[in-house]
Structure 1
Amino acid sequence: MDLFEDLPEPSHSSGPVATATAQVQSEDEELRPKRKREEEEEEEPTDIKKDCKEGPPALRGFVASRRGERDEMQDAHVLLADLMLCRATPTRTRVSYFAVFDGHGGSRASRFAAENLHVNLARRFPSGDAENLDKLVKKCLLDTFRQTDDDFLKKASSQKPVWKDGSTATCLLQVDHTVYVANLGDSRAVLCRMEGGVSVAVALSREHNPTMYEERMRVQRAGGTVREGRVLGVLEVSRSLGDGQYKRCGVISTPDLRRRQLTPGDRFILLACDGLFKVFSADEAVKFILNILQDDSVGKGAELTEEACLYEAACQRLASEAVRRGCADNVTVILLSIAF
């Protein structure tokens, strides 16, 4: 079963890059909504094919983090605009990776994922001009999440006392014109698409909450329970990295995978932990960012271009506004500008 859920193609009408400082289980077929799936993908519109010939877009990452009222910052993030996974080829010239990890029960799982997941990804990434690249990237992501989870659980179980940390993960992998989003837990990825001068917030991820029917049924079939919207009345998410004590209760590390081709109508991508979305809807966050990007009063930096200063300001102000609105949780925001 293809775990990619392609979003419909749209109608056609750089802060500095920071260095990076499960057992795969399939959901039961009868629990997943039945969807019509075409045996062959529809032919891409001519205008999109034309754009692809002009070279892949550049994603530039900006990040802002706020501790909120927590005693510890348990979030972690990675921005790698030029991930040298393989040699450039005539058909693949850009590979980038961006990720946000929201830890719980401590910061060890989120830090481990930030330090190791992209390394595992690099080792498994298909090399050369491979055929069926989408399927190979899908398998690469699934295997990478499984290995990273297994590696952390082994390390956690060897400690005294045993580490009980866990982490959500929202990772975006760009391969030329295509972005793949792998998501676990309740962090989100949102694309801002412009259609006729109007912004549209497009979800690039799906949250994993134990109150969702499919997630709850998997937990219950594994012998766990969902009380007050939490696994065993404690854990807020039904998929995560780490959380070894909940793995026997149906909490898995298999990510939801989505794929989208970028076009000139796409303005930016927002990756953020649930701390932001506790006080912002996706539409509100997109509009908030756009208002700042259009603000001529934003000061210009000596080392950044005018556009970069606007994105940096938008990222920082969005995180600060989340705290001002009363979010007591850690807040981490990654804003990716899209430049063709």
Structure 2
Amino acid sequence: MDLFDDLPEPTQPGGPVTAARPRAGTEEEEDEKEEEEEEERRAKRKREDAESEADKKEEQGEIKKVCKEGLPVLKGYVAARRGERDEMQDAHVLLPDMSSCLSLPGQSSRVSYFAVFDGHAGARASRFAAEHLHHNLANKFPSSELRDSENVDKLIKKCLLDTFRQTDDDFLKKASSQKPAWKDGSTATCVLVVDDMVYVANLGDSRAVLCRMEAAADGQRRSVTLALSKEHNPTMYEERMRIQRAGGTVRDGRVLGVLEVSRSIGDGQYKRCGVISSPDLRRCQLTANDRFIILACDGLFKVFSADEAVKFVLNIVQEGSGERRAGLTEEEVQFEAACQQLASEAVRRGCADNVTVILVSIGFRAKSSSSSSSQHTQFD
């Protein structure tokens, strides 16, 4: 039903309201006249409803066309530093276009995937997750017959939860079958981009942040740093309560005084103490004002705040000081240089941990009218 069906039509759209004229003719004639007028009004409303429905369909078609023309173009860059560790225990995955191995929902036409895994007690959990998690995701991804965007959001949420659970279960089975059993664990921060919608799933203390440019009061454009992930450490109230209810303890900010994170892949010996593999899930729609996403392990954020990291990258990209390289555009050269320099600067500032940084540049072929409004919300 049209939103305005219940509103009476104005009898006089303009001018002052005048007194009603006396009725002429017999009551029967007047009743017949009113019935005829009512029939005409009903027929007019039906025609208007049909035209309105046609207009809506045409408008939706135009919106879809504009959105398709305005899809973001994503490019990933990675830098990894061992720091002072004996072994590189981080792992990463960059898949700017994984659409070919998916059955896409609705009108979706591109899916991208980027992930950082920070291993501890060994590199086997992080490497296992880097190798298997996106394959599990592809197998569980919503099928193409879905058309309702709300249902797609719910199914992608379920897909991510199931993907993390299966990846963790598979690794724990493999770890427990070894002699001696593997004790490795890993954080995970994964960014899945479906057209212009970003879905972030994370465990532990690796993080993802978005740089968005917004107009300031003085007319200049300034960067705003948006957190796309949530850290999980045992000192947080909800995390500590879950661990304690499971029979574990938190000492010196660590599970049983040892494990620094409260959610992870692997860490089989801590699963009975409330350490879980259910990720925090967030969703954000990209706009033409967005410049890049930084995914990094805690090695970066031990010596950089999120805002400092964003400004560091922006300065390098805007200065344009990178060396020209064959086959790369000027913008690609700047983002590559920014990614490498950010990781190196973390080590220079004294981070002894492994440092892995993924920098995802965001460009739009054309500004999308549907991108003027943005969301940054956690799933219900």
What residue number does 2:323 align with? 299
Structure 2: where are the runs of 5+ without partners?
1-62, 216-220, 365-380
How do 1:1-340 and structure 2 match up within 5 A? 52-83=67-98, 84-87=100-103, 91-130=107-146, 131=148, 132-196=151-215, 197-340=221-364
Amino acid across the alignment from 1:272: A
Amino acid across the alignment from 2:114: F
Amino acid across the alignment from 1:136: L
Amino acid across the alignment from 1:99: A
For 2:83 and 2:231, locate their aligned partners in 1 and report how far apart those are by CA, in whole Å.
Answer: 22
For 1:236 and 1:85, locate their aligned partners in 2 and report how far apart those are by CA, in whole Å.
Answer: 36
Is the Cα contact below 8 Å between 1:91 and 1:129 reproduced in 2?
no
Is the Cα contact below 8 Å between 2:243 and 2:249 reproduced in 1?
yes
How far off its partner does 1:245 sit?
Answer: 0.1
Amino acid across the alignment from 2:314: L
How far off its partner does 1:50 sit?
Answer: 8.8
Q: Please, what TM-score do these two structures have when normalized by structure 2? A: 0.75
For 2:145 and 2:81, locate their aligned partners in 1 and report how far apart those are by CA, in whole Å.
Answer: 41
How far off its partner does 1:298 sit?
Answer: 1.7
Amino acid across the alignment from 1:101: F
Is the Cα contact below 8 Å between 2:209 and 2:227 reproduced in 1?
yes
Is the Cα contact below 8 Å between 2:321 and 2:334 reproduced in 1?
no
Q: Judging changes above 3 Å, is the alpha-carbon distance between structure 1 residues 89 and 206 closer, same or farther for their aligned structure 2 residues? A: closer
Is the Cα contact below 8 Å between 2:207 and 2:231 reproduced in 1?
yes
What residue number does 2:14 align with? none
Is the Cα contact below 8 Å between 2:80 and 2:343 reproduced in 1?
yes
For 1:280 and 1:230, locate their aligned partners in 2 and report how far apart those are by CA, in whole Å.
Answer: 22
How far off its partner does 1:296 sit?
Answer: 2.9
Amino acid across the alignment from 1:58: V
How far off its partner does 1:303 sit?
Answer: 1.9
Q: Please, what TM-score do these two structures have when normalized by structure 1? A: 0.84
**Deviation readout 1:151-195 (Å, 9 max, x if unpaired):** 000000000000000000000001001010000000000000000
Percent sequence identity over aligned pairs: 78
For 1:205 and 1:332, locate their aligned partners in 2 and report how far apart those are by CA, in whole Å.
Answer: 16
2:319 counterpart SS class: coil
Q: Judging changes above 3 Å, is the alpha-carbon distance between structure 1 residues 82 and 53 closer, same or farther for their aligned structure 2 residues? A: closer
Kindly name which structure, 1 or 2, has the bigger radius of gyration based on alpha carbons: 2
How far off its partner does 1:299 sit?
Answer: 1.1
How far off its partner does 1:51 sit?
Answer: 6.0
**Deviation readout 1:72-109 (Å, 9 max, x if unpaired):** 00000000011133256771100010000000000000
Q: Judging changes above 3 Å, is the alpha-carbon distance between structure 1 residues 89 and 241 closer, same or farther for their aligned structure 2 residues? A: closer
Comparing both chains, which one has the higher relative contact order based on Cα–Cα distances under 8 Å and sequence gaps of 6 or more? Answer: 1
How far off its partner does 1:52 sit?
Answer: 2.6
How far off its partner does 1:56 sit?
Answer: 1.6
What residue number does 2:367 align with? none
How far off its partner does 1:295 sit?
Answer: 1.5
Structure 1: where are the runs of 5+ without partners?
1-47
Q: Which runs of 4+ in 1 moved over 3 A?
A: 48-51, 87-90
1:195 counterpart SS class: strand
- Aligned residue pairs, count: 293
Amino acid across the alignment from 1:203: A
How far off its partner does 1:53 sit?
Answer: 4.5
Is the Cα contact below 8 Å between 1:224 and 1:250 reproduced in 2?
yes
Higher helix share: 2
Q: CA RMSD in A?
A: 1.4
Is the Cα contact below 8 Å between 1:181 and 1:258 reproduced in 2?
yes
What residue number does 2:54 align with? none
How far off its partner does 1:55 sit?
Answer: 3.4
